[in-house]
């Protein structure tokens, strides 16, 4: 496995595991407290493409990491990872 493949796999693990870890953290910290789940602060996951300055870079990262059937958010707007020809 080369360095690029290793980085790609690590990014995938972070993208898929972060929401799971945050959900588990929120569950453990509210269990037995009597706190209503509606009042629990849920941390939204951050995705690498959200920091990209240009749409092309954001689209490319989202497409590579999530595949062609994904909706991603960039600069507050939702976009699909499908190419125009795939719509």
From first to last of the 87 residues of the chain, give the pLDDT tens digit.
688 877 777 777 777 667 766 666 665 555 555 555 555 555 556 778 788 899 999 999 888 888 899 998 899 999 999 999 988
Q: Which residue from 27, 81, 19 is spatially nearest to 49, judged by alpha carbons?
A: 81
Report the pLDDT value the prediction gives residue 4, as an integer from 0 to 100: 81
pTM value is 0.50
Same domain, 3 and 30: yes
Report the pLDDT value the prediction gives residue 83, as an integer from 0 to 100: 93
Domain that holds residue 18: 1-44
Q: Cα–Cα distance between 51 and 23 in angstroms, integer?
A: 23
Residue 50 contacts residue 40 (beta carbons within 8 Å):
no
**Total domain count for the chain?**
2
Same domain, 83 and 53: yes
Q: Cα–Cα distance between 69 and 7 in angstroms, integer?
A: 22
Report the pLDDT value the prediction gives residue 85, as an integer from 0 to 100: 93
Structure tokens at 18: 């972060």
Same domain, 29 and 56: no
Structure tokens at 69: 């059937």
Residue 54 contacts residue 45 (beta carbons within 8 Å):
no
Report the pLDDT value the prediction gives residue 82, as an integer from 0 to 100: 94
């Amino acid at each position: 496995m080369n360095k690029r493949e290793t980085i790609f796999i690590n990014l995938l693990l972070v993208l898929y595991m972060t929401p799971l870890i945050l959900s588990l953290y929120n569950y453990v910290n509210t269990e037995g407290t009597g706190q209503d789940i509606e009042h629990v602060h849920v941390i939204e996951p951050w995705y690498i493409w959200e920091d990209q300055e240009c749409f092309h870079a954001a689209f490319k990262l989202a497409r590579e990491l999530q595949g062609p059937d994904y909706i991603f958010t960039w600069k507050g707007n939702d976009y699909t990872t499908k190419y125009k020809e795939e719509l």
